[in-house]
Chain A
Amino acid sequence: MPQAAVSEAAASAGARDYRALIEPARINSRLYYDPAIFQEELEKIWYKTWVYVGHTSEIPNKNDYVTKSIGPMPVLMVRDKEGEVRLLLNKCPHRGNQLCAYQKGNRTSFTCPYHSWTFSNTGDLMGYALPDGYEGQSKAGLNLGKVPRIAIYRGFVFGSMAAEGISLEEHLGGAKAALDQLLDNSPTGELELTAGFLQHRTKANWKFMLENETDGYHPGFVHGSVFQVTSSGIGSLYGSDSTALTRDYGNGHTEFDLRPEWRKNDKPLQWFGTTPERLPEYVKAMNAGYGEERARQIMIDGSPHVMIFPNLFIAEIQIFVLQPVAVDETVQHVTAVQFKGAPDINRRLRQQTMGSVGPAGLLLADDTEMYERNHRGAQILDPEWLVLSRGLHRERLDDNGFRIAHSTDETPQRGIWRHYLNLMTEAR
């Protein structure tokens, strides 16, 4: 991570009045393109709050590791020799060299190619070359850096660069139920994210993606071409008559909730555009796992469409991880949801994912075109303020006290900015 940049941002913190840039139903364009604001976001969001890092199924065996990230900063997610999941920083404490240059692998130790300092996969310094040069000196304090806090919820590994703060469960709040809903669609209650990630480079600020993931207003227009050429029939979910909901879970987490539509139609697996007859093995496994009645309800409700602030997006059948790398550049990492113990549905999940998302995706290539046009447009000076007022008059609370509104309303986006304002103005 660029320490100098953070210090600079810290020095100017307080100079920006975020209350003057964010109002309840409109925001200032500057929030997307100002490099100083991006640096302050690193400090106050990415290197402070809980950030999704990876899934335990990506490192199933002892000594497995995979390179992940927290914001622009690379992080090694490791299962150490004892089987414990650790988040190590990929920087040799000697002279700062990038330690591991590979995406993934299995090893008990990491050796820096520069001066051959070697670290155990627990992060501890094991030894260095030509030790006589350090005679009388202690190795204490020469271990790899670590992400100070790590928490795992049902396989989802989160890290926080702040040594203290609210617990992960407190951070997830109501959105935890959406993760449970996703896992309910697995006959074993578990995921296996083993298909590898596509990495979609996007010349736009990360918040355009954060906002769009639960924007139910755009699909009819941005994805009209797909609805036109496939017989998916999902176009109607994004119209005026849709009973689908948008939801603000608080803490920046938002949802596009299609369950009202699926429950109205009462057809198992309609959410996935298929029928129980076409996925007999999956249905059998679900019935065995949950009992027929519960399995039927799960298969009617389907998988959630939820954006966990700031970077984990579950798009029913995909897991997206948003990685900001610069004020005007974001990488969308995406893979297919894979349910442990469900080979027949997993193949279809992969096929549909490859068709719809990633750099060549029938859907995401058009979303990404919008992000990049968003970013270019935001820098035009007039009008300065962007409008997020859709559905203000019909916003209401659900049974759990969360704000909900029509599927095309901007309740999620208002919720995101409310949380963002809290984070950016929080006392240090």
Chain B
Amino acid sequence: MTALAQSFADVSAPDLAATDAVALHHQVAQFLYLEARLADTHDYDGWEALWTDDAIYWVPANGDDTDPEKEMSVLYDNRSRIGVRIRQLKTGRRHTQTPRSELARVISNIEIAEVRGNEVEVRANVLIYEDNLRGDTLWAARNTYRLRMVDGGFRLVRKKIALVNNNKPIFTLSFLV
């Protein structure tokens, strides 16, 4: 949680705590479903556009309470590296995604963990079914998201994907998780 626990941005923006809880949950869920669909359908530009400039996209290894600034993670991208990752996918020569993985993911157990100012921290479980040349792989993760309300819509600030089996050898993870 180290990276996610960093201070919330102090932006003079709408106070989400004032939003009706059911409405807020609905709005959060809709955003997570959108993000999931863009990833599943390899809509690279659409997915990249969800991120804020201070983004962190993180898949820990060897547990889910490691320090990504000191220990190895499967993936620990800032906004710049997210951009490189997307540009590589778009070359058409990212061999592990040529042909692309066929994906369908289910997001559930969406809980709003914390609301502060214009940001919200969300927990959700996700199952991702991947089919590719190697075969079929089922991925399971406990995700944590930090979303920020910007110009009337949510943007993605941080996404931590804690794969339940991240202490064991895992197959290539080259789609947008």
Contact = CB atoms under 8 A, between A and B. Distances in A.
Interface of A: 103, 195-203, 222, 224-226, 228-230, 331, 335-336, 347, 350-351, 353-355, 358-360, 362, 365-366, 368-370, 372-373, 376
Contacts of A103: 62, 167
Interface of B: 59, 61-62, 66, 69-77, 81, 84-85, 87-88, 91, 93-96, 133-135, 167-174, 177
A365 B96 contact: yes
A202 B135 CA distance: 12
| Interface class of chain B by DSSP | loop
Given A229-B88, A362-B84, A369 B76 contact: no
Contacts of B168: 199, 201
Given A103-B62, A228-B91, A230-B84, A358 B169 contact: no
B72 A360 contact: no
B170 A366 contact: no
Contacts of B134: 203, 372
Contact of A358 (B74, B84, B88, B94): B74
B123 to A, nearest CB: 22
Contacts of B72: 195-198, 335-336, 350, 353-354, 358
A226 B95 contact: no
A354 B75 contact: yes
A92 B84 CA distance: 49
B74 A360 contact: yes
Given A229-B87, A365-B172, A368-B96, A373 B133 contact: yes
A12 to B, nearest CB: 30
Nearest to A362: B88
A74 to B, nearest CB: 13
A74 B171 CA distance: 20
Nearest to B83: A229
Given A226-B88, A229-B91, A366-B95, A360 B173 contact: yes
Contacts of B87: 229
B102 to A, nearest CB: 16
Contacts of A225: 88, 91, 93-95
Contacts of A351: 76
22 contacts: A103-B167, A195-B70, A195-B72, A196-B62, A196-B66, A196-B71, A196-B72, A199-B61, A202-B171, A203-B171, A224-B91, A225-B88, A229-B91, A347-B69, A351-B76, A353-B72, A354-B75, A355-B84, A360-B174, A366-B96, A373-B133, A376-B133
A376 B132 CA distance: 13
A359 B95 CA distance: 14
Contacts of B84: 229-230, 355, 362
Contacts of A369: 95-96, 133, 172, 174
B98 to A, nearest CB: 9
A167 to B, nearest CB: 32
A365 B95 CA distance: 8
A198 B91 contact: no
Contacts of B135: 203
Contact of B170 (A201, A350, A353, A354): A201
Given A228-B93, A366-B96, A199 B170 contact: yes
Contacts of B66: 196
B172 A200 contact: yes
Given A225-B94, A353-B72, A365 B62 contact: no
Given A198-B74, A354-B74, A360-B74, 20 more contacts: A196-B61, A196-B72, A199-B168, A200-B170, A203-B171, A224-B91, A225-B93, A229-B87, A350-B70, A354-B72, A355-B77, A358-B74, A359-B74, A359-B174, A360-B174, A360-B177, A365-B173, A368-B96, A368-B172, A369-B133
A200 B88 contact: no
A351 B84 CA distance: 14
A224 B173 CA distance: 19
Contacts of B177: 360
Contacts of B173: 359-360, 365
Residue among A197, A225, A350, A365 with the highest chain B CB neighbour number at 10 A: A225
Contact of B169 (A200, A224, A347): A200
**Of B81, B95, B167, which is in contact with the most chain A CB atoms at under 10 Å from its CB?**
B95
A331 B71 CA distance: 19
